[in-house]
Amino acid sequence: MTGLDRPRRLRRTPAMRRLVAETTLEPRQLVLPMFVADGLEEPRAISSMPGVLQHSMDSLRKAAVEAVTAGVGGLMLFGVPRHEDKDATGSQASDPDGILNRGLRALADEVGDSTVIMADTCLDEFTDHGHCGVLGPDGSVDNDATLHRYVEMALAQAAAGADLLGTSGMMDGQVGAIRRGLDAVGRTDTGILAYAAKYASAFYGPFREAVASSLEGDRRSYQQDPANRREAIRELQLDLAEGADIVMVKPAMSYLDILRDVADHSTVPVAAYQISGEYAMITAAAERGWIDRRGAILESLMGIRRAGADIVLTYWATEAAHWLS
């Protein structure tokens, strides 16, 4: 057995494994997605995402402080308007008094510059048809009319205190339109977190409950086809050329190959979103005793980091940050 190559020497003890670890997982690399719902006095549970809440304004502030204290790198906020406030153009999205913009101001007031405040810059929560943009006469999403609404939404979010705007709608030219709109009014310091590769996934289901989505049909005419890999790099290159500050892949779990491709080609930081369906699957299996919950959560996050994500959006951000601290 002399001369045998023995890689196990570097796995022998926890100290040795820590010394040679190739990938790290730290609280600062995690971002917590949060939901704030209009008209709530108390937080409301989301049945398909046990442990995740639609927040009232008060509980939003408290959860934000807990996350920041745990060391998470950022907060991504989604707004949930009342059903009667939705309309065809998602007017609540750009209303300074709309629920999302009120929530952003609350976060800015509560945690300030101690974390990075991010906003979902998309219309789907606010439209009565549930699509991510304005519909044309034929019922399809009108790309260029939607860009106009995105700019209005972006300006309202920047004024409310968002540091980064999450362009999740997958409209052609959305990053460039928002960048020009921000720069035109002097908002040159507001950054863009571009959803460069966002796929039409079956794993978004629980999120639809979380935002009380009104969607009928699907979003396959604007989100990417799960069959396509090269297309993600085309989208990445366009977003970079239009001024993206950070790019993101969504979902994470079923698209780790895409994440690796994007990380290999990107000149800016890369994020990945561990989405609602991923959260729900691990949670359900752990509740049934089929997997070790903590181990599965940390392993899944490490896998996303190993595939190339500098930043991971996860509903476990605060809890994982406590474990890692």
Tell me which residues are annotated as active site.
198, 250
Structural contact between residues 80 and 126, judged by C-beta atoms closer than 8 angstroms:
no
For residue 34, which of 160, 133, 122, 118 has the smallest C-alpha distance?
Answer: 118
3-state secondary structure of 166: strand
Mapped onto helix, strand or coil, the DSSP state of residue 249 is strand
What whole-number distance in Å separates Cα of residue 314 and Cα of residue 310? Answer: 13
What does the alpha-carbon distance between residue 284 and residue 238 come to, in Å, rounded to a whole number?
38
| Residue at token pair 């090269």 | 230
Phi and psi at residue 228, to the nearest 5°: -105, 130
Residue 99's CB: how many other CB atoms inside 10 A? 26
- Alpha carbon of 293 to those of 46, 50, 67: distances in Å? 19, 13, 20
- How far, in Å, are 123, 168, 218 from residue 152 at the CA level? 11, 15, 25
Read off φ and ψ for residue 113, nearest 5 degrees: -90, 10
Name the amino acid, one letter, at 285: A
For the chain, where are the alpha helices, taking DSSP H only?
14-20, 57-70, 99-111, 143-160, 174-184, 205-210, 230-242, 256-265, 276-287, 293-307, 317-324
Q: Give 309's Cβ-side CA count (13 Å radius).
A: 31
